Structure 1
Amino acid sequence: MAHLLPLTLVVMTRNEAQKIARCLDSVPFAAEKLVVDSGSTDNTAAIARAHGARVLHQDWLGFGPQRNFAAAQCSHPWILMLDADEYLTPALIDELQQRLPALMESDGAAAVLRRHLIYMGRPMRWYRPAVGEKMARFYHRDRARWSDARVHESLQFKGFPVTMKAPFLHDNNPSLVEKQLKILLYAELKCRDWLDKNKPARMWQTPFVFALAFIKDYVLRLGFLDGWRGYAISQTAASYAAYKRMRYYEMRQNPASRDTATAALTRSGLDH
């Protein structure tokens, strides 16, 4: 049995019944496991409780605010935050158990973990963002906080984080269908952030953004070395970069589309 460390594992969920058990079970050393659910209609909450988690409900606030809400509910100030489709590897479990006690006794703020992507059922081997992507996921809630962005939030803190060597895994969208649906949601959230900031709509940039984003991912980030999977992930990233600009332009040109899009996402269960 793993030695428990005084930290809280936090997972935010909505309809993650197929994944939540694996995620929770991959952190056997967490003294507390907290699931903040935003309205699951499947067995997510029951499964989470069966696997040792305390479950709270919170209506969706946006990724950054939801993470900060969750952090405030933890019994311990040190927090490990994972998504439901992420889980630790045995090597990272061992490394965290060995290295976290020293960090938790220090005045440090955070630790960076390396994330490896599983895409189309297999690990990516060369595509740079999918192999060892550095993500700050372990932190002290009084020394770090998440940005208030609705999507693409980041952990903000001062100082230099500790970086772990072993990876954790991200079992990405089961199919391109789920990925495209997520793109619709993420683009909508990003555009709402742009509206709040009154960002100008520069549609003329869109063709160049698509081309540059594809070249960056497929060539500079070595997507081409992963074969057709590398092409697919690069094309999807470029399409997202272009689509969110087109959608933002539409929001500015036709404000009524904001409400109709929200209603459509809600009917499809994609409002968050």
Structure 2
Amino acid sequence: MPTLPLTLLVITHNEAANIARCLDSVPFAAEKVVLDSGSDDDTAAIAQAHGARVVHQDWLGFGAQRNFATTQASHDWILVLDADEYFGPEDAMHLTRLLPGVLAGDAAVAVLRRRTLYMGAPMRWYRPMVGERMARLYHRGRARWSDARVHESLRWDGRAESLDVAFEHLHNPTLPHKQLKVLRYAELKCRDWLERGRPPRVWMAPLVYVASFAKEALLRLALLDGWRGLVVAHTAAAYAVYKRIRYYEMVRNPESVEQARAVLLRHGLDR
């Protein structure tokens, strides 16, 4: 497969189980860069063995980490994947045929679709996991990541091109993996709220659960995926509630911010 003038960027921390599959699924990238925030497994060695240049950067938060990674690329056009994401062979070939036109054009970003495997099988109906549209290919002079600690987004000036290409996402392998991620993401989001001085509004928690569950189960069709869909709807609603009650605790007891940081750090969830 011919290589094209773009850089694949992957940010990692302890992704030894996933990184090889991710890197090998993008044979068309002229450069592969892994930005690692201090893995203590074999992530860096595996990445190097699979053709990536590994750069170390202490954790800055998701948005800032991605923006720093952008500065490490040798090419203006950048493809971003997480370590647990990859292209199937057919989609990689299809993208290779489409890319020359994209790279030569004036678009700021190209939008791809993401398909998700959950509890060991693909989701069939739940919209965010079936064909979620995401801007993952971008020109670094025309787009930039937000600086949010978590739930960062790509922002751009100019035209977005939509490509009929999908990549795969191996969602959290188990529910314990998911719950650990929830703890980390909620903590980061709450720190953002704390810096902005957002009112706690803990009284909204029951309403938030009902509204979030209904949104995921009905509007986003999780219910049609059976019990797995109900699990998805519940975990999404529980996350929405947990963020609010944890933020209330931060405001009510400011000492809990550093206390929680210390315990999360011991478990590798705050870096």
TM-score range, shorter chain: over 0.9
**Structure 2 counterpart of 1:121:** 120
Task: Give the stretch that moved more between structures: 104-113 or 44-53.
Answer: 104-113
Q: Deviation at 1:160?
A: 2.9
Q: Deviation at 1:91?
A: 2.8
The 8 Å contact of residues 11 and 81 in structure 1, kept in 2 or not, is answered as yes
Paired amino acid for 2:249? E
1:249 matches 2:248: yes
Any idea what SS the aligned residue of 1:60 has? coil
Length-normalised TM-score, structure 2 = 0.99
Q: Deviation at 1:246?
A: 0.4
Moved over 3 A (4+): none
Task: State the Cα deviation string for residues 43-94 of structure 1 (Å, max 9, x = none).
Answer: 0000000000000000000000000000001011100000000001223212
Structure 2 unaligned blocks of 5 or more = none
Any idea what SS the aligned residue of 1:15 has? coil
**Structure 1 counterpart of 2:136:** 137
1:26 matches 2:32: no
Paired amino acid for 1:16? E
Mapped partners of 2:126, 2:101: distance in 1: 33
**Structure 2 counterpart of 1:90:** 89
Paired amino acid for 1:29? F
Task: State the Cα deviation string for residues 203-251 of structure 1 (Å, max 9, x = none).
Answer: 1111100110001101111111111100101100000000000011100
Equivalences for residues 168-179 of structure 1 within 5 A: 168-179=167-178
Q: RMSD of the alignment, in Å?
A: 0.8
1:164 matches 2:163: yes
Length-normalised TM-score, structure 1 = 0.98
Equivalences for residues 38-187 of structure 1 within 5 A: 38-187=37-186
**Structure 1 counterpart of 2:260:** 261
Paired amino acid for 2:243? K
Paired amino acid for 2:73? C
Q: Deviation at 1:143?
A: 0.6
Mapped partners of 2:225, 2:113: distance in 1: 19
1:199 matches 2:201: no
Task: State the Cα deviation string for residues 184-220 of structure 1 (Å, max 9, x = none).
Answer: 0000000111111111111111110011000110111
Any idea what SS the aligned residue of 1:83 has? coil
Mapped partners of 2:94, 2:139: distance in 1: 19
Percent identity over the alignment? 62
1:11 matches 2:10: yes
Q: Deviation at 1:166?
A: 2.5
Mapped partners of 2:158, 2:211: distance in 1: 33
Paired amino acid for 1:231? L
Mapped partners of 1:183, 1:103: distance in 2: 36
Task: Give the stretch that moved more between structures: 172-181 or 192-201.
Answer: 192-201
Q: Deviation at 1:106?
A: 1.4
Mapped partners of 2:105, 2:57: distance in 1: 32
Paired amino acid for 2:150? V
Paired amino acid for 1:35? V
**Number of residue-to-residue matches in the alignment:** 271
The 8 Å contact of residues 218 and 231 in structure 1, kept in 2 or not, is answered as yes
Paired amino acid for 1:115? R
The 8 Å contact of residues 106 and 159 in structure 2, kept in 1 or not, is answered as no
Q: Deviation at 1:28?
A: 0.4
